[in-house]
Amino acid sequence: MNITIVNFKGGVGKSMIAHQLITGFGFYGYEIDPYGSLSDRLPERVERIDIQQKYLNKPSNETIFDFGGFDDIKLDQAISYSDLIIIPFIPTLETIQGTVDTLVRVASANKPILMVPNMSQKENDISDAKFVFEETLGYEIEMFSIPMSVALQTAINENSSIVELSKQVGIKAYAYKKSSKLIYDLHATIREYENL
Ligand SMILES: Nc1ncnc2c1ncn2[C@@H]1O[C@H](COP(=O)(O)OP(=O)(O)OP(=O)(O)O)[C@@H](O)[C@H]1O
Ligand SMILES: [Mg+2]
């Protein structure tokens, strides 16, 4: 399956999720972000797409399209190749409008959408965001929440999969267990959209 990860808002966790799906679950990546570092971190698995490029080749392996925090002409094409669109966002009142804009922009493609509230501080903010999204679209939308996690940030800094880090022995592995289970569950949720 192929997955588009998008939000025109920056710093919401798009590349973090892409990184964990690529390192933990065998996906390849297209980095459609001139400011991104995913292709530098994972050069064997992630191809950098030049900003001037107008078309994307259809990927032959399972691929994650990791967009930067802006609209791009290649977005429609990436979505057409994708089984699922993931929209990570930080659920605060100030940033919700940018996410609604992204949601409206991609919803017309009629592909399944998974919203991922990331680094949220309050449970209420997540339900408020869900309400706004569903009012905007007129139908229900699935959400998968990821809390702020030092373990996840460590995995990113070490350029490793949290799932792999949690397989180590000893006390350190214990610290990774919770976030590892979360990313494992995220992957399982994503797989429910395969071949829909
Ligand atoms: N749940 C989390 N817990 C801790 N740190 C996180 C979490 N999610 C993301 N981060 C960190 O927050 C920062 C921003 O995330 P990331 O780079 O993935 O956002 P992005 O949406 O790809 O941004 P851009 O729009 O610039 O491409 C990164 O340092 C990332 O490792
Ligand atoms: Mg990014």
pLDDT in tens, the chain (196 residues): 999 999 999 999 999 999 999 999 999 999 999 999 999 999 999 999 999 999 999 999 999 999 999 889 999 999 999 999 999 999 998 889 999 999 999 999 999 999 999 999 888 999 999 999 999 999 999 999 999 999 999 999 999 999 999 998 888 888 899 999 999 999 999 999 998 7
Cα–Cα distance for residue pair 153/142, rounded to 1 Å: 25
Cα–Cα distance for residue pair 29/5, rounded to 1 Å: 11
Tokens 């949220």, located at residue: 120
Q: 14-25 vs 150-157: helix axis angle to the nearest 10?
A: 70
What's at 9, amino acid-wise? K
Cα–Cα distance for residue pair 69/14, rounded to 1 Å: 9
Tokens 């030049």, located at residue: 50
- Residue 87 Cα to ligand 1 middle (Å): 13
- Residue 12 Cα to ligand 1 middle (Å): 5
Tokens 């959400």, located at residue: 143
Binding site membership of 117 for ligand 1 (Cβ less than 6 Å): no
Domain locations in the chain as residue ranges? 3-149+182-191
pTM exceeding 0.95: yes
For residue 34 the two structure tokens come to: 């001139």
**CA distances (Å), 66 to each of 7, 125, 126, 145, in order?**
10, 25, 23, 19
Smallest CA separation from ligand 1 atom 20, residue: 11
Task: Determine contact, residues 112/189, Cβ cutoff 8 Å.
Answer: no
Tally of CB atoms within 10 A around 132: 17
What is the model's pLDDT at position 80?
97
Which residues lie across from 29 on neighbouring strands?
A: 46, 64
What is the model's pLDDT at position 169?
84
The CATH homologous superfamily of the domain defined by 3-149+182-191: P-loop containing nucleotide triphosphate hydrolases (3.40.50.300)
CA dihedral 5, 10, 11, 15 (to 10 degrees): 30
Tally of CB atoms within 10 A around 160: 16
Q: Quick one: which atom of ligand 1 is closest to the CA of 17?
A: 18
- Residue 14 Cα to ligand 2 middle (Å): 5
